[in-house]
Structure 1
């Protein structure tokens, strides 16, 4: 089972009958985990970008916290909240297709920037706008372990444990986005949770972006369960 780790996985080539034409290497095929005694080839994977996509009341917060607890993962909770509330007041209630494209374009641009650890890009949507890259208005900052731990949280030391969400807001003070950016770069993977992308097809541009190594986890729940959870 492959898990998130800073270590590379031992991989080995798999013979592929489709590559048995003259002049082609029959071992030129997708990698697989090696069995004992087979030659090893290191698989140094690049940073993984994870998007947890769901509708509300579908368990996305729980799944997000599973990633959040991993020491190699930099996790952000609903950063697209800021896009939604920065742009929606400027749009009519019945949004046209062109206005919807504006929302989706802004959301995709923000996701791409965050996966590249460009946290400053969020400043375009946080209200009031951060001063000197510092803000206390990041939505649910306390839901991110990385943002509530040393050195991003100046109220904690290197040996202090991660704070609960409520304590994080009280003890950590304003969020220094410069420190948040550095923390993001220090983590091996970036995970983002959102319920603000209507369809997975809207993310095609990100999936096809060669600069990203995007993995999408789409959660689907029986609508009867969603309805029951609201009662």
Structure 2
């Protein structure tokens, strides 16, 4: 039988072992936390943690604000203005750009060009939760427009559905590279409305692209004087759009995606809406064909940036030089030989498929300056582009 003194000694040893294990695990946990945030510490030596604790939201915001000032050190703002004139956090008004288009029409490429601007905050596909459908009117239009307005105002306080969807579909945020960097460091803050609102307000530029909202509805955004947005309608040859959609597994069986007739009805309605917007908002609305952008990216983007009030920064020039010369990556890659990318449909679609699209899209193609192929031989060599005008 074990004596009482021996039992007491065994108990003491056991307690000491448990305490040592506990302290060891705590040290490992502390090291992991410290290591996890070391990358962020390296960005700015003035930003220090105390006791290896996670920084507060205000600490993260303050440090990001400091980093943005460095990032924008050589950005040329319009004469007589400075960074503070364009950030909501300082009572300024950001330069806001909204791209309206449809699936597989070049918006990822154009969106990434705008996101190459230093200090840009990218609202990528904010209507993802609506699924593979086009928003042409109520009841969906009200929720969609309220979401877009809240995001452009950097007000996440009421965006419960948007944030809930994003938590299980993180690509809603991953294209916003400046935000996603923080999400990887501070996962608990990533879907926090208070953090997101404060973070968004630091940025002098906001860009947004949507492939689900039709142009006529975007007039409500232009009517909001506080937003002072500029809208780009991005148009693509329906033959190119339908060819590109063939490679997406989410498109078949979705009428708004796999039916050329629906695509071209939207192209016609967008043309009609473009006439109205060009009449009343000529200084804040612009039409751009994907093919024109691809054939002359540097010229078109310089002209577009003049219209948007953006400086053609060296980072934008670098993006164009590295993303328009060679095909790299899969169907969603923006590394493309831009002069050939818009015309893959001529080799990828057979003549019967092209005829079916052209018959469903005759009026839309005429309005937007796209030429029909005469025959199989002509299809390979002809120029499918001609001029167009908005009436």
Tell me if TM exceeds 0.5. Answer: yes
Structure 1 counterpart of 2:323: none
Partner of 1:148: 180
TM-score (norm 1): 0.60
RMSD: 2.9
Q: Deviations over 1:4-55 (max 9, x none)?
A: 9865423xxxxxxxxxxxxxxxxxxxxxxxxxxxxxxx35563112111111
Asked if 1:51 corresponds to 2:88, the answer is: no
Q: How much has 1:125 moved relative to structure 2?
A: 4.0
Match of 1:215 in 2: 230
Alignment correspondent of 1:203: 218
Tell me, in whole angstroms, the C-alpha distance in 2 between the residues paired with 1:121 and 1:220: 32
Unaligned segments of structure 2, at least 5 residues: 1-71, 87-92, 247-391
Task: Check whether the contact 1:206–1:212 (CA below 8 A) recurs between aligned residues.
Answer: yes
Cα distance between partner residues in 2 of 1:62 and 1:137:
21
Find the partner of 2:124 among 71, 77, 82.
77
Distance in 1 between residues matched to 2:77 and 2:109, nearest whole Å: 28
Q: Which residue of 2 aligns with 1:64?
A: 111
Query: Is 1:9 equivalent to 2:46 in the alignment?
Result: no
Residue matched to 2:202: 186
Change (3 A) 1:122 1:182: same
Task: Give the counterpart of 1:110 among 127, 144, 147.
Answer: 147
Which secondary structure state, in structure 2, belongs to the residue aligned with residue 149 of structure 1? helix
Residue 122 (structure 1) shift: 2.2
Q: Which moved more, 1:105-114 or 1:140-149?
A: 140-149
Relative distance call for 1:181 and 1:153 in structure 2 (3 A) is: farther
Question: 1 CA distance for matches of 2:170 and 2:163?
Answer: 7
Question: Which structure exhibits the higher relative contact order, with contacts defined as CA atoms closer than 8 Å and separated by 6 or more residues?
Answer: 1
State the distance in 2 between where 1:153 and 1:67 align. Answer: 23
Mapped to 1, the partners of 2:239 and 2:168 lie a distance apart of 37
* Cα distance in structure 1, aligned partners of 2:228 and 2:217: 17
Conserved? CA contact 1:126–1:137, under 8 Å: no
Name whichever structure is richer in helix by fraction.
2
Greater strand percent: which structure?
Answer: 1
Q: Deviations over 1:100-148 (max 9, x none)?
A: 31211111111111011012332134446x9xxxx45445321111222
Counterpart Cα distance in 2 of 1:153 and 1:137: 15
Query: Structure 1, residues 172-208: CA drift from partner, whole Å, max 9, x if none?
Result: 577233332222111001111110102x121112101
